[in-house]
């Protein structure tokens, strides 16, 4: 399964990549913001995207909206991974079309659970 990580922090991308590898997912691509994430969507056709909320150029909300506008990506699962915790943001994300919402700091176990919920593991 191919997984896309969209996060402006290199450290965060590295942490998530390591976590996914522990869960047996080695096919991972990265993007530093939403705009780059959209390019990766076209080029790499991931099945799951882990998306940060607060990013330069294009943030998580706009990225999710842009992905959900295209029918071709209907089956791609979108998971927000952020340290933002306000109910307003969770609501906005889910309303825009996110499938799951995970709070940083996230552990491998939680990630595994969330992926099972999405029917991906």
Partner 1 sequence: MDDNELDEVVNEFIVESHENLDDLDRALVLLEHDNDPNVVARIFRTIHTIKGTSGFLGFSTLESVSHVGENLLSKLRDRELMISTEITSGLLAMVDAIREILQTVSTSGDEAGLAYPALVERLTELAVAPTAGVEPEAAPAPATFTPLTEIAETTPDVGEVPKPQGEDRPPASETLRVDVSLLDDLMNLVGELVLARNQILQFVQPQGDPAFNATSQRLNLITTELQAGVMKTRMQPIENVWNKFPRVVRDLTINCGKQARLEMEGKHTELDKTLLEAIKDPLTHLVRNAVDHGLESPANRLASGKSTEGLVRLSAYHEGGQVIVEISDDGAGIDADKLRRKAIQKGLLTSEEAHSRSDREMLNVIFLPGFSTAEAVSNISGRGVGMDVVRTNIEGIGGSVEVQTVLGAGTTFRVKIPLTLAIVPALVVSVGQDRYAIPQVSLIELVRLDAHQSPEGATVIGGIEWVQGLPVHRLRGQLLPLVFLRDVFENDLYDGVIDSEPRESFNIVVVQADDHQFGLVVDDISDTAEIVVKPLGRLLKSADTFAGATIMGDGRVALILDVMGIANRIGITTSERRGSRAATGVDVTDVSGTWRRLLLFSLGDRHLGLPLEAVARLEEFSPADIEMSGHRAVVQYRGEIMHLIDLGDELGMPSSRVEGQPMQVVVYTDANSSVGLVVDQIFDIVEEHLDVTETADSHGIAGTAVIHGQVTDVIAVKQILRSAVPAIFATASEVAA
Under rule CB under 8 A, which residues in 36-65 are in contact with partner 1?
A: 36, 39, 54-57
Interface characters, 86-115, with partner 1 (x: CB under 8 A):
------------------xx----------
Residue 86 beta carbon to partner 1: minimum distance, rounded to whole angstroms = 11
H helix intervals, the chain:
10-22, 34-44, 60-68, 87-96, 108-117
Site map (CB under 8 A) of partner 1, residues 9-38, x = contact: xxxx-xx--xx--x-------xxx---x--
The span from the first CA to the last CA of the chain, in angstroms, equals 9
What are the CA-CA distances from residue 31 to residues 46, 49, 119 (Å)?
A: 12, 10, 24
Place of tokens 């992926």: 115
Compare residues 27 and 39 and give the one whose CB is closer to partner 1: 39
């Amino acid at each position: 399964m191919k997984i896309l990580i969209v996060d402006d922090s290199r450290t965060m991308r590295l942490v998530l990549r390591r976590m996914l590898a522990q869960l047996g997912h080695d096919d991972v691509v990265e993007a530093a913001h939403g705009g780059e994430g959209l390019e990766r969507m076209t080029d790499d056709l991931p099945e799951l995207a882990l998306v940060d909320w607060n990013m330069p150029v294009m943030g998580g909300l706009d990225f999710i909206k842009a992905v959900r506008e295209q029918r071709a990506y209907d089956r791609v699962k979108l998971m927000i991974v952020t340290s933002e915790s306000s109910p307003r943001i969770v609501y906005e994300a889910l309303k825009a079309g996110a499938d799951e919402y995970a709070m940083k700091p996230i552990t491998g176990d939680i990630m595994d659970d969330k992926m099972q919920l999405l029917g991906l593991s």
